[in-house]
């Protein structure tokens, strides 16, 4: 099928895009990479009367190191982030997670901002953003707001973005030098959305005691979630295989998995346990220099 008819605008600044959003209200949709929106329009699941194509707003396509954060513009293509030497050095978990997003032609068009605003709870970028406590910057008629992941992702395919707001940037803390990390996911085929995804970061003190653990899960709740009770199992303790197994169990208890076409709730929950434990082991090995 082809999409229903729509009016098309291609602003060249964020301010113009916000003006257009204000003028057209909920009849309008931003078009970024089009990799989620256009299929939805073709299936007529989405029928915007106005498309505001932001691809000419080159100012929001960048990857920069600013202090101890990476600033990534919303229009930056997923493939550019995946291949960026800066991202690979400062935030390798993000580059690695991106390699699981669809296939390279999709990542070549798809943008970081589009994935965040689409807010699929199985998507890789939102899960990593949640694990790292990154912040998103949005611009609207009354100025700029910065939001934590828990404030931004409200539920399945829904964010707290107001109708006339546009996402312009995500700011991601760089990983501590000696942190170990991992991104693992369960899919039926490579490139599918995750049935369960687990992002983990571990920091160890001398002697192998865990100073900080961060664990986020995708695919097991209406938004990506932090497994904070699992993190607490690890923090301040000497890491062992038994402790990582226990953290996996705690993470599984935190899920709100539902049964769907891809798997039963019970299977998802059990796979959350397995994939958190597996991811922690990888992160632990990386901490010890076994990349």
Ligand X SMILES: Cc1cc2nc3c(=O)[nH]c(=O)nc-3n(C[C@H](O)[C@H](O)[C@H](O)COP(=O)(O)OP(=O)(O)OC[C@H]3O[C@@H](n4cnc5c(N)ncnc54)[C@H](O)[C@@H]3O)c2cc1C
Binding site for ligand X (CB under 6 A): 29-37, 39, 54, 74, 101-102, 106, 110-111, 113-115, 117-118, 123-124, 161, 166-167, 191-193
Closest approach of Cβ 141 to ligand X, in Å? 14
Backbone conformation region of residue 208, classed left if phi is above 0, alpha if psi is from -120 to 50, else beta: left
Residue number with CB closer to ligand X (5 or 189) = 189
Closest approach of Cβ 140 to ligand X, in Å? 10
Residue number with CB closer to ligand X (53 or 270) = 53
Residue number with CB closer to ligand X (97 or 287) = 97
Which residue, 56, 59, 61, 108, is CA-closest to 82? 108
Residue number with CB closer to ligand X (118 or 171) = 118
Closest approach of Cβ 11 to ligand X, in Å? 12
Residue number with CB closer to ligand X (106 or 154) = 106
For the purposes of burial, counting CB atoms within 10 Å of the CB of 34, is it exposed (0-12), middle (13-18) or buried (19 or more)?
Answer: middle
Residue number with CB closer to ligand X (124 or 231) = 124
Residue number with CB closer to ligand X (107 or 250) = 107
Tokens of 6: 């729509």
Closest approach of Cβ 179 to ligand X, in Å? 24
Distances (CA, A) of 76 to 72, 126, 276: 7, 15, 29
CA 52 centroid distance within chain: 23
Closest approach of Cβ 234 to ligand X, in Å? 27
Instruction: Look at the block and give the residue holding tokens 């257009």.
Output: 20
Closest approach of Cβ 171 to ligand X, in Å? 15
Tokens of 167: 């996402």
How does DSSP classify residue 238?
Answer: B
Residue number with CB closer to ligand X (163 or 208) = 163
Give the separation between CA 228 and CA 174, rounded to whole angstroms: 20
Closest approach of Cβ 263 to ligand X, in Å? 16
Sign of the CA dihedral with 153 first, then 94, 215, and 120 last: positive
Pairing of strands 69-73, 63-66: antiparallel
- SS3 at position 58: helix
Which DSSP helix (H) or strand (E) runs through 245? Answer: helix 241-254
Number of residues that make up the chain? 291
Closest approach of Cβ 31 to ligand X, in Å? 5
How does DSSP classify residue 102?
Answer: S
């Amino acid at each position: 099928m082809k999409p229903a008819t729509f009016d098309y605008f291609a602003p060249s600044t964020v301010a113009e895009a916000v003006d257009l959003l204000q003028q057209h209200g909920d009849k309008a949709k931003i078009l970024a990479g089009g990799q989620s929106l256009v299929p939805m329009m073709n299936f007529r699941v989405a029928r915007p009367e106005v498309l505001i194509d932001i691809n000419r707003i080159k100012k929001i396509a960048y990857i920069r190191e600013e202090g101890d954060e990476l600033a990534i513009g919303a229009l930056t293509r997923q493939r550019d982030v995946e291949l960026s030497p800066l991202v690979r050095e400062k935030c390798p978990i993000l580059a690695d997670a991106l390699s699981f997003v669809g296939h390279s032609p999709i990542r070549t068009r798809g943008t970081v901002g589009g994935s965040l605003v689409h807010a699929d709870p199985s998507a890789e970028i939102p899960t990593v953003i949640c694990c790292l406590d990154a912040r998103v910057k949005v611009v609207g008629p009354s100025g700029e707001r910065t939001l934590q992941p828990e404030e931004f992702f409200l539920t399945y395919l829904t964010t707290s973005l107001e109708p006339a707001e546009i996402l312009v940037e995500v700011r991601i803390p760089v990983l501590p030098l000696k942190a170990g990390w991992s991104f693992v996911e369960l899919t039926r085929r490579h490139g599918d959305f995750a049935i369960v995804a687990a992002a983990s970061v571990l920091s160890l003190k001398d002697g192998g005691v865990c100073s900080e653990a961060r664990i986020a899960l995708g695919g097991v709740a209406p938004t990506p979630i932090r497994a904070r009770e699992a993190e607490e199992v690890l923090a301040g303790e000497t890491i062992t295989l038994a402790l990582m197994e226990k953290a996996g169990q705690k993470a599984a208890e935190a899920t709100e998995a539902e049964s769907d076409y891809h798997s039963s709730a019970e299977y998802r929950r059990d796979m959350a346990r397995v994939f958190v434990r597996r991811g922690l082991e990888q992160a632990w090995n990386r901490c010890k220099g076994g990349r």
